[in-house]
């Protein structure tokens, strides 16, 4: 029983490391070759996990082999556009200038109902509102609405907008983010002075953030 327990932990750590090396893409954004490798890794990990008689390296070595294949294929994708098209395919336009391309739907084995489902996933409920719909290589559908159906942007109103930058976490669950403080050119003493305005000490803060306009958000931990 203990052997199975420890084998499971070891294989979990190996699979976790391999998946981290594969990158940060979400499952829905995986390319076909990445999805295939992920499925095979899962299958390879379950065999030595449940079968004590099989040496654990019989599972680890093939998993590392698949990681190597992933690195090689990813490298080829980066260097060759033609290879990328063969391995990952090409985006296909399903709706062109407001008209559904029936040939493209048939080639991709896409039904009208599936297309409508993807549109609803993009908060578009009327086919007549679509100028372009593009099926990406990872299976996602990118939507471009007709000009009159798009939301109003600030640039359309010709307003001057200040650059906001990105927010930084300064404290998370009572722990000071030293690296982020250095990024904004501040130190712990400055942070403590700022938090005095909220009557909070860093170790008592649940979260403290600062945005590009130097506005600080602070929330104190709840008392247990």
**pLDDT (tens digit, 9 = 90+) per residue, 118-140?**
889 888 888 888 999 998 887 78
Task: Give percent above pLDDT 70 in the chain.
Answer: 90
Judged by average pLDDT, the poorest of 65-79, 165-179, 186-200 is 65-79
What is the 3-state composition of the chain as percent helix, strand, coil, each rounded to the nearest 5?
A: 50, 15, 30
Judged by average pLDDT, the poorest of 25-29, 52-56, 181-185, 190-194 is 25-29
Read off the pLDDT of each residue in 98-117 and give the average, rounded to a whole number: 88
The residues, ordered by sequence, that sit 6+ positions from 101 with a Cβ below 8 Å of its Cβ are 93, 94, 95
Task: Give percent above pLDDT 90 in the chain.
Answer: 27
The residues, ordered by sequence, that sit 6+ positions from 63 with a Cβ below 8 Å of its Cβ are 14, 15, 18, 41, 44, 45
* 224, two tokens: 């247990």
Structure confidence by residue, pLDDT tens digits, 55-104: 777 778 888 888 888 888 888 878 887 877 777 778 889 999 989 999 98
Contact 213, 221 (CB under 8 A): no
pLDDT of 37: 76
Instruction: Give the phi and the psi of residue 213 in degrees, each rounded to 5.
Output: -100, 15
pLDDT of 193: 94
pLDDT of 4: 67
Instruction: Give the phi and the psi of residue 164 in degrees, each rounded to 5.
Output: -95, -25
Three-state DSSP class for 68? helix
Instruction: Give the phi and the psi of residue 24 in degrees, each rounded to 5.
Output: -110, 15
What separation in angstroms does the CA of 58 have from each of 29, 48, 139, 176, 197? 30, 7, 33, 44, 60
- Give the confidence band of 206 by pLDDT, cuts at 50, 70, 90: very high
Class of domain 92-149 (CATH, top level)? alpha beta
Residue 16 pLDDT > 90, yes or no? Answer: no
Relative to beta strand 130-135, strand 92-96 is: antiparallel
Judged by average pLDDT, the poorest of 24-28, 89-93, 130-134, 172-176 is 24-28
Contact 180, 168 (CB under 8 A): yes
Class of domain 168-220 (CATH, top level)? alpha beta
pLDDT of 1: 57
Domain ranges of the chain: 2-86, 92-149, 168-220
Contact 162, 213 (CB under 8 A): yes
Residue-averaged pLDDT of the chain: 82
Strands of 175-176's sheet in order across: 175-176, 168-172, 205-210, 216-220
pLDDT of 22: 62
d(CA 93, CA 132): 7
Instruction: Give the phi and the psi of residue 212 in degrees, each rounded to 5.
Output: -65, -15
Q: Hey, do 92-149 and 168-220 end up sharing a CATH topology, with the first three levels equal?
A: yes
Element (H, E) at 104: helix 102-107
């Amino acid at each position: 029983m203990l052997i199975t327990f420890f084998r499971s932990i070891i294989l979990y750590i190996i699979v976790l490391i391999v998946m981290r090396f594969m990158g940060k893409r979400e499952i829905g954004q995986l390319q076909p070759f990445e999805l295939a490798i992920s499925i095979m890794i899962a299958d390879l990990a379950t065999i030595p996990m449940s079968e004590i008689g099989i040496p654990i390296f019989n599972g680890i070595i093939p998993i590392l082999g698949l990681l190597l294949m992933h690195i090689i294929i990813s490298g080829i994708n980066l260097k060759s556009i033609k290879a990328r098209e063969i391995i990952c395919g090409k985006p296909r336009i399903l709706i062109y200038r407001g008209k559904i391309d029936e040939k493209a739907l048939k080639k991709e084995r896409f039904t009208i109902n599936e297309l409508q489902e993807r549109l609803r996933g993009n908060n578009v409920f009327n086919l007549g509102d679509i100028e372009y719909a593009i099926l990406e290589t990872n299976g996602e559908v990118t939507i471009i609405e007709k000009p009159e159906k798009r939301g109003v942007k600030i640039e359309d109103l010709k307003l001057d907008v200040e650059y906001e930058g990105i927010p930084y976490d300064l404290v998370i669950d009572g722990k000071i983010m030293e690296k982020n403080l250095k990024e904004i050119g501040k130190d712990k003493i400055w942070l403590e002075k700022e938090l005095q305005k909220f009557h909070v000490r860093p170790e008592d803060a649940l979260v403290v953030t600062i945005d590009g306009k130097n506005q600080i958000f602070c929330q104190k931990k709840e008392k247990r």
